[in-house]
A and B are shown apart, each in its own frame.
Chain A
Amino acid sequence: MENAYKEIEKGYLNMELLRFTTAGSVDDGKSTLIGRLLYDSKAIFEDQMEAIERASVGKGEEEVNLALLTDGLKAEREQGITIDVAYRYFATPKRKFIIADTPGHVQYTRNMVTGASTANAALILIDARNGVIEQTKRHSFIASLLQIPHLIICINKMDLVEFKQERYEEIKKEFSKFAPKLAIKDIRFLPISAKLGDNVVDKSKNTPWYEGPTLMYLLENLHIGGDNNFLDARFPVQYVVRPQSDKYHDFRGYAGRISSGVFKTGDEVKVYPSGFTSKVKGIHFGDKALKQAFPPQSVTITLEDDIDISRGDIIIKKNDTPKIEQDIDLMVCWFNERPLQIRGKYAVKHTTNDVRCMIKDIEYKIDVNSLEKDYDDKVVKMNDICRISIRTTKSLYFDPYTRNRETGSLVLIDESTNETVAAGMII
């Protein structure tokens, strides 16, 4: 028992969190792969397994259908399709994983974008028999657009091409031809068979020519320490903490999550939009005082000077100014059945700030399959991706999305329905 306690201290409390997204359809073996990762890491429990066995038999299927594990809603189970992002969890002694599992059809681009927005890595499956298809390009493009740092290309169903190295190399070459169009630095390839387990958790005897890691090893060891931006100190104020108690009578803390960069006590800071400067007096995390804070920590910061700061303001390190503009160009993915309205007005949520905007123009639309730009078609419908320009009612304090995923992103909201209609990445 003593040893087991030590294991807890050493192991569980020392794990990192990795979020990844998987995109694809049932046909390319995505559900089987997720099922295998969950099963092999013991994240599927007996009663869950029994439930899907019951359901598979009820539908007259011969084998246990692992896809039923990921199809959560009744409507989906009845129709045999996945209509939304589902989150799955598993852990190994090294890391806890959150999978954002999204369907791969063209009409669900918006779900893929949603799943990709917080991911460290994207898993893309290619059927070894079919090679690179339109869907592969679409998924890779979205991963790149959303700036997922790591792309893992699993060339699946290797068993159906007799584990031939030539086929693997051929597909790798095919993918590498269009890879320069992507803004992803870290791209890995793996030959796997999700169904039989080759190179998923254990190294396959069928691919002696492959010297790289297994998928599980890669997920456990992918270097994610550098995924956050630790350079530009940005702290959007989320909530002002005023205790109004005798003990903390004068306490005025600014609560929020560090978007990027590192804040230390004593740092000279500047607050926007007021432009006032001050110094970091304290960094609080519950009743603990910290010397520094960095993303993705949620803390409360106090300043040396009493200045008027409220939700939506941003605290930055002095001499490291973000962009301050009202006319903004951005890439958007449209989410709503009602098409984008040129000259239309929308509510904007950007960090903790709320403003309004008018869409001035659509510059071009992108065909997500060919990656070609279309400058003529100005009708933007659900799942379309395009470049637009907007004018906001007040200045936004931002960084380009490629530099900062937190301060470079925003959503548009239809003010008549309150629905989130678009995700925007500032250029």
Chain B
Amino acid sequence: MDKYIINHLRELEAESIYVIREVAAQFERPTMLFSGGKDSIVMFYLARKAFWPAKVPFPLLHIDTGHNFQETLDYRDNLMESTGTKLIVGYVQESIDKGKVVEETGVNASRNMAQTTTLLDTIEEHKFDAAMGGGRRDEEKARAKERFFSHRDEFGQWDPKNQRPELWNIFNGKKKMGEHFRVFPISNWTEMDVWQYIYMEKIPIPSLYFTHKREVFNRDGVWLAKADFMELKSSEKTELKDVRCRTIGDITCTGLTLSKANTLEDIIIEVAATRVTERGGRADDKRSESAMEDRKKEGYF
């Protein structure tokens, strides 16, 4: 019997592909969130595998905070063009201009909260009934209890006490008018799985994930990139360092890792040896013990 065995990455892959196909089959207007980070790159790669030789049967959606690394945008545009995929962009700047959200000010200002408004508005505008995200349960403790199919009410809110039980391979995507689902196809992957998979499948990733020289400054033990819209405290000085991104998010709150990792192999070795979670570098999670849970309840991914 032992010849019918697949490794852990193939099993995770099979599960994720099943979930993505289930979304395409159960919903009328699904979309897939794409940030240009490694998790959404892997998720989109799985979607292409799921529907080959057809194109991915739904558009991708990017919520653009306006505070991006330029490399991410270039990578995104090239990928959409080479795969012939439709991309929809929701701009946080527009939500701010329309007065739907007030931009945070001060040195720790971030557009992370404002993203939720833009996301919910974009979902409503395009009448999406399911939005897939690259969230993983190992990232944060509120995520550890999230379902694959996460039901959201008409306000886009998550009610952790009223989640639908998920058994076997059966996913219940039934909903009422105005409600939608968030779906997390790579729920069961860890950071290490994602890197191993990128390595195994030789998936191209943005250069930001590899070591490069960048002007950075240290805030509360986290290295942040210098950018035009970043306000520095008087005590903070920029320095040129060898860094790489462990996650890619909004530039204002993405911590950089001091690293000389130049190849995928180097990254895997580094991840294996590291003792801090990847979200440990995300300033947005440090605001309070339940920062992530509170944001999720409001409609964040």
* A298 lies within 8 A of B276 (CB): no
Could you tell me which residues of chain A, from 123 to 149, have a CB within 8 Å of some CB in chain B?
A: none
User: Which of A85-93, A168-176, A191-199, A384-392 is near enough to bind chain B?
Assistant: A85-93
The answer to the question of A304 belonging to the interface, with a C-beta cut-off of 8 Å to chain B, is no
The answer to the question of B207 belonging to the interface, with a C-beta cut-off of 8 Å to chain A, is no
* B167 lies within 8 A of A409 (CB): yes
Q: How far is the CA of A420 from the CA of B5 in the complex (A)?
A: 32
A26 → B minimal CB distance (Å): 17
- What A residues does B106 contact at CB under 8 A? none
B5 → A minimal CB distance (Å): 6
With A411-B167, A411-B172, A420-B172 in contact, is A46–B142 under 8 Å at CB?
A: no
The answer to the question of B269 belonging to the interface, with a C-beta cut-off of 8 Å to chain A, is yes
B186 → A minimal CB distance (Å): 12
Chain B residue nearest to A74 in the complex (CB) = B290
Q: How far is the CA of A135 from the CA of B272 in the complex (A)?
A: 38
* A225 lies within 8 A of B4 (CB): yes
* A298 lies within 8 A of B50 (CB): yes
The answer to the question of B230 belonging to the interface, with a C-beta cut-off of 8 Å to chain A, is no
* A347 lies within 8 A of B174 (CB): yes
The answer to the question of A309 belonging to the interface, with a C-beta cut-off of 8 Å to chain B, is no
* A294 lies within 8 A of B25 (CB): no
* A85 lies within 8 A of B145 (CB): yes
* A413 lies within 8 A of B265 (CB): no
* B21 lies within 8 A of A418 (CB): no
* B165 lies within 8 A of A72 (CB): no
- What B residues does A84 contact at CB under 8 A? 145, 160, 163
Q: How far is the CA of A363 from the CA of B146 in the complex (A)?
A: 35
* A243 lies within 8 A of B54 (CB): yes
- What A residues does B24 contact at CB under 8 A? 239
The answer to the question of A321 belonging to the interface, with a C-beta cut-off of 8 Å to chain B, is no
- What B residues does A294 contact at CB under 8 A? 4
The answer to the question of A370 belonging to the interface, with a C-beta cut-off of 8 Å to chain B, is no
B270 → A minimal CB distance (Å): 11
* B5 lies within 8 A of A225 (CB): yes
Q: A214-247 toward B: CB 8 Å interface, digit per residue (1/0)?
A: 0000000000011010100000001101111101
The answer to the question of B196 belonging to the interface, with a C-beta cut-off of 8 Å to chain A, is yes
Number of B interface residues at 8 Å Cβ cutoff, please give it.
Answer: 70
The answer to the question of B236 belonging to the interface, with a C-beta cut-off of 8 Å to chain A, is no
* A298 lies within 8 A of B14 (CB): yes
- What A residues does B126 contact at CB under 8 A? none
With A410-B170, A411-B170 in contact, is A298–B137 under 8 Å at CB?
A: no
The answer to the question of B287 belonging to the interface, with a C-beta cut-off of 8 Å to chain A, is no
A79 → B minimal CB distance (Å): 12
The answer to the question of A31 belonging to the interface, with a C-beta cut-off of 8 Å to chain B, is no
With A225-B4, A255-B51, A420-B172 in contact, is A117–B167 under 8 Å at CB?
A: yes
A272 → B minimal CB distance (Å): 18
* A239 lies within 8 A of B21 (CB): yes
Q: How far is the CA of A54 from the CA of B288 in the complex (A)?
A: 12
* A257 lies within 8 A of B14 (CB): yes
Q: How far is the CA of A341 from the CA of B95 in the complex (A)?
A: 48
With A113-B167, A225-B4 in contact, is A45–B280 under 8 Å at CB?
A: yes
- What A residues does B15 contact at CB under 8 A? 296, 298
The answer to the question of A374 belonging to the interface, with a C-beta cut-off of 8 Å to chain B, is no
* B275 lies within 8 A of A55 (CB): no
With A225-B4, A257-B14, A349-B172 in contact, is A89–B167 under 8 Å at CB?
A: no
Q: How far is the CA of A410 from the CA of B49 in the complex (A)?
A: 27
Chain B residue nearest to A422 in the complex (CB) = B165
- What A residues does B229 contact at CB under 8 A? none
Q: How far is the CA of A410 from the CA of B171 in the complex (A)?
A: 10
- What A residues does B164 contact at CB under 8 A? 419-420
The answer to the question of A423 belonging to the interface, with a C-beta cut-off of 8 Å to chain B, is yes
* A238 lies within 8 A of B22 (CB): yes
Partner pick for A114 among B18, B167, B265, CB 8 A cutoff: B167
B220 → A minimal CB distance (Å): 13
Could you tell me which residues of chain A, from 94 to 113, have a CB within 8 Å of some CB in chain B?
A: 95-96, 98, 110-111, 113
* B54 lies within 8 A of A91 (CB): no
The answer to the question of B199 belonging to the interface, with a C-beta cut-off of 8 Å to chain A, is yes
Q: How far is the CA of A399 from the CA of B14 in the complex (A)?
A: 22
* A83 lies within 8 A of B161 (CB): yes
Partner pick for B54 among A13, A225, A226, A244, CB 8 A cutoff: A244
* A8 lies within 8 A of B268 (CB): yes
* B137 lies within 8 A of A117 (CB): no
- What B residues does A411 contact at CB under 8 A? 165, 167, 170, 172
The answer to the question of B190 belonging to the interface, with a C-beta cut-off of 8 Å to chain A, is yes
* B7 lies within 8 A of A45 (CB): no
Given contacts A248-B53, A298-B13, 13 further A-B contacts (CB under 8 A): A5-B265, A16-B8, A45-B275, A77-B289, A91-B190, A239-B24, A257-B169, A285-B49, A298-B21, A347-B174, A413-B172, A420-B165, A420-B172
Q: Which residues from chain A sit less than 8 Å from chain B, CB to CB?
A: 1, 4-5, 8, 12-17, 42, 45-48, 51, 54-55, 69, 71-75, 77, 83-89, 91, 95-96, 98, 110-111, 113-114, 117-118, 225-226, 228, 230, 238-239, 241-245, 247-248, 251, 253, 255-257, 262, 284-287, 294-298, 300, 311, 335, 347, 349-352, 405-406, 409-411, 413, 418-420, 423
A–B pairs, 23, beta carbons within 8 Å: A8-B199, A12-B192, A17-B12, A47-B280, A51-B289, A55-B289, A73-B142, A73-B293, A74-B294, A84-B160, A84-B163, A86-B144, A113-B167, A114-B165, A225-B2, A243-B55, A247-B53, A255-B51, A286-B52, A296-B6, A297-B10, A418-B174, A423-B165
Q: Which residues from chain B sit less than 8 Å from chain A, CB to CB?
A: 1-2, 4-15, 17-18, 21-22, 24-25, 48-55, 137-138, 141-145, 160-161, 163-170, 172, 174-176, 187-188, 190, 192-193, 196, 199-200, 265-266, 268-269, 274-277, 280, 289-290, 293-294
Nearest 4 pairs of A and B residues by beta carbon = A286-B49, A243-B54, A72-B141, A47-B280
